[in-house]
Amino acid sequence: MADTSSIPPAVLFDIDETLIHTGGSGARSWAMAFRDLHDVEADIGEHSSAGETDPQVGAATFRGVMGRDPEPAELARLYASYLRHLADDIRVSEGYRVLDGAEALLDRLADAGVVLGVVSGAMEGAARTKMEPARLGRFFVFGAYGSDSPDRVDVVRRAIATAGTLRGAEPRRDEVLVVGDTPNDITSAHDAGATAVGVASGHYSAEELRDAGADLVLDSLEDPALERLLGLGPDGSVDGAAS
């Protein structure tokens, strides 16, 4: 087996409630899309749960408010309308903010040579739009999204495969970390063969993330425990992979 000890680890970040809070922009944009296309009121919170992919959210909400399965063309129009509304809404969302410690942590990890990626249930266009106000996209070399697959485990596997290509070696479980705020993030990371780091910055408590099996739980991204897990030295260099 090749020695990968000198190859930097990869860290894959969820977006919503892990890096940013949109102030409800996503839910409002879905609601506006349903209103425009079908003249119905739709609350995604009534038909989906945190950590699901956008295709799951869109289809489940459609079934809930329309009483039938959507046709592929209907979903395509729904996604397009949602993305247009999101681009407008997020620019004026008063509640939009970068979560504590997120930008500083990304900056330090990038400087340390860690391979940074996005792993998000959002469609790629939505993920990029959500990061745009804070310009967080500048930190990420690659990503895998809900538009790649409706199954979150498959999304994580795709991200891990890309990380392996960029690192020049397929990462072991201890060489790739998935950071997210929901039990779905934790279980999908494990099912895809990654280390799961939970951050209690969203709708779930630290205890709930531990119960989901997180290998490490942070109260926020200000917690230095993630960097210690990565083996970052005092000068910011990578001493070794997670252990």
pLDDT at 130 over 80: yes
202 found inside a domain: yes
Domain boundary, last residue among 40, 62, 92 = 92
Residue 82: the pLDDT is 96
| Integer-rounded Cα radius of gyration of the chain | 18
- Kindly indicate the confidence band of residue 5, based on its pLDDT and cuts at 50, 70 and 90: low
| Residue bearing tokens 């495969």 | 161
pLDDT at 48 over 90: no
* Alpha-carbon span 122 to 22, nearest angstrom: 13
What is the extent of the structural domain holding 88? 25-92
* Number of domains within the chain: 2
**CATH number of the domain residue 56 falls in:** 1.10.150
**CATH number of the domain residue 201 falls in:** 3.40.50.1000
Could you please report the per-residue DSSP string of the chain? ----TTSPPEEEE--BTTTEE-SSHHHHHHHHHHHHHHS----GGGT--TT--HHHHHHHHHHHHHSSPPPHHHHHHHHHHHHHHHHHHHHH-TT-EEPTTHHHHHHHHHHTT-EEEEEESS-HHHHHHHHGGGTGGGG-SEEEETTT-SSHHHHHHHHHHHHHHHHTSPPPGGGEEEEESSHHHHHHHHHHT-EEEEE-SSSS-HHHHHHTT-SEEESSTT-THHHHHHTB-TTS-B-S---
Residue 173: the pLDDT is 93
pTM: 0.90
Domain boundary, last residue among 48, 65, 92 = 92
Work out the percent of the chain whose per-residue pLDDT is above 90.
82
